[in-house]
Structure 1
């Protein structure tokens, strides 16, 4: 997905806080956020594990996590950069 299309969709869906996040290679163990998050991968890659399911997201992919969903994150060898909307 293109950045402009993503930002327009976030706005229509009521996401008011937009943040660009950069993570180095590595991982975050199980945790949850008190906000809903929808992110567009701009560079690198990230794997998200929820329950027994794990999915790889790469450039152009969009990931969506509901508020308070426990998940783990693993960042690719070059890390990851993503634009995330929070609400």
Structure 2
């Protein structure tokens, strides 16, 4: 998905203005949860999100969607990751 289409989908789904997040290469975040729903588009690099026993890789152009309060862990690729995220 491209940035324009993603931004339009966020607006349609009632997300406020998106923010850009950058994470450093080869780092991780242990299991945690957010008090908000998140929908994000990968702009650069890659990340892996693990929910329970399942891990999904996300690369440039991919979108991930996490419900509020969903426990997950995150792992960032060798070039880190930059993503555009809407939170509500």
The alignment's TM-score, normalised by the length of structure 2, stands at 0.97
Correspondence for 1:3: 3
Richer in strand (by share): 1
Q: 5+ residue gaps in structure 2?
A: none
Q: 4+ runs of 1 displaced by more than 6 Å?
A: none
Distance in 1, matches of 2:49 and 2:6, equals 20
1:43 aligns with 2:47: no
Equivalenced residue count is: 87
Task: Return the offset for 1:18.
Answer: 1.0
CA RMSD of aligned residues (A): 0.5
Correspondence for 2:61: 60
1:33 aligns with 2:30: no
Q: 5+ residue gaps in structure 1?
A: none
Distance in 1, matches of 2:20 and 2:86, equals 9
Distance in 2, matches of 1:70 and 1:24, equals 21
Task: Return the offset for 1:20.
Answer: 0.2
